[in-house]
Amino acid sequence: MMDETEKLTQSFERTFGRRPETVAYAPGRVNLLGEHTDYNGGFVFPAAINFGTWVAAAKRPDRKVSVLALDYSGDANHFSLDDITQDPVQPWSNYVRGVLKALMVRHLVGGLELTITGNVPQGAGLSSSASLEIALLKAIASLYELPLSGVDAALLGQWAENEFVGCSCGVMDQMASALGKQGGALLLDCESLQFEHRAIDPEFQIVIVDSNVKRGLVGSEYNLRRQQCEQAVGVLGVNSLREVDMERLLQAQSAMSDVVFRRARHVVSENTRTLAMARALAESDYRAVSRLMAQSHDSMRDDFEITVPPIDTLVSIIQQVLGAQGGARMTGGGFGGCAVALVPTNLIDDVRRAVAEEYHKRTGLRAQTYVCTPENGAFLE
């Protein structure tokens, strides 16, 4: 962490001719279970990881914002707090613009100089954007002494994505980045936003394997899934799929199309699995962890239809190594991205080897494996 802070501080000095007043950090996240349940008012079980985004910041006496992203080529981006519009030329700056627009609804904020860097693999479904939003909010809250809680920050980050960037994501990623906890995962009820931290047995490692499948259809397909869930909600006459159990869904099956029924079946079954997963982890019941993660993957593949063949292959390669001793599934929004696995320490090398030997042979793609640790979120008290 020191290295990134130092790098960022130096580039801040080169760009703005003075030292930053603060450097904030927020982690990315990996979701252990509970996919596409957040915007359905359901349960998710993510962990903040040891990859994240750093923001160096200082106040300006005027209403201007200047921001340099070290990981993107090009000059600093400039805008006025009094006229925040979308920037099609440097789209990364829309996260900064959106976060400020969200903040200014309720809080007094002045001008800013900012530099940003991060090491969350981009486009891999590990929430580089949520970590940017939360790191920005942390930095700005500290500079302008804003009384922001972790939940406030998560909702502001989500607002920036939904209303400004134009991605209708749920609140899971921002909550994990803000409120995750070292050594554990966050069991979050996305309806009430109540959460509990659940420790992960240190004998098990979180292994993330990036499939390197470019996530192409992500925006349109994600929004389509949301619409299909809403159709099911309409047929069922409820407020959200959270209110529905499998029995109720089956009673309404004949009133919906097959696709809408299967989308809802994924969400309803995934909510049950998420709660079961939290219990299984607490009891170190790895046979159950293995089964639940496999069922989640199958449900995402067959009912929600958000996996792609290389990811199915990747997950099955890892599952073969783990047997009932650990679990693996696709994680995140889908259509590419990463597999996540809970792996006993003594099987990590075997997982690495199997992925290296098999994945390229069977898909022509090369995967990247990261052994992660669960870290504190940026707003954890």
Q: Which residues here bind ligand GLA, judged by CB under 6 A?
A: 31, 35-36, 38-39, 169-170, 172-173, 332-333
Strands 64-69 and 111-118: parallel
* CB 8, CB 41: distance < 8 Å: no
**Which residue lies nearer to ligand GLA by CB, 20 or 333?**
333
Is 173 tagged catalytic? yes
- Burial of 371 (C-beta count, 10 Å sphere; 0-12/13-18/19+): middle
Q: Which is closer to ligand GLA, CB of 77 or CB of 307? A: 307
Phi, psi of 295 (to 5 degrees): -65, -40
Shortest Cβ 145–ligand GLA spacing (Å): 29
User: Least distance from C-beta 348 to ligand GLA, angstroms?
Assistant: 25
Output the smallest distance, CB 35 to ligand GLA, in A.
4
Residue number, 39 or 92, with CB nearest to ligand GLA: 39
Task: Provide the CA 208 distance to its chain's centre, in angstroms.
Answer: 13
In the set 71, 75, 83, 173, the catalytic residue is 173
Element (H, E) at 156: helix 150-159
Q: Work out the number of other CB atoms within 10 angstroms of the CB of residue 261.
A: 21
Q: Report in angstroms how near the CB of residue 296 gets to ligand GLA at its nearest.
A: 11
16 vs 164, beta carbon nearer ligand GLA: 164
Distances (CA, A) of 328 to 191, 338, 357: 27, 11, 18
The tokens describing 197, both together, are 């931290």
Q: What are the C-alpha distances in Å from 125 to residues 35, 51, 115, 131?
A: 12, 13, 23, 12
Looking at beta carbons only, is 114 or 124 nearer to ligand GLA? 124
Minimum gap (Å) between residue 306 Cβ and ligand GLA: 8
Q: Report the catalytic residues.
A: 173
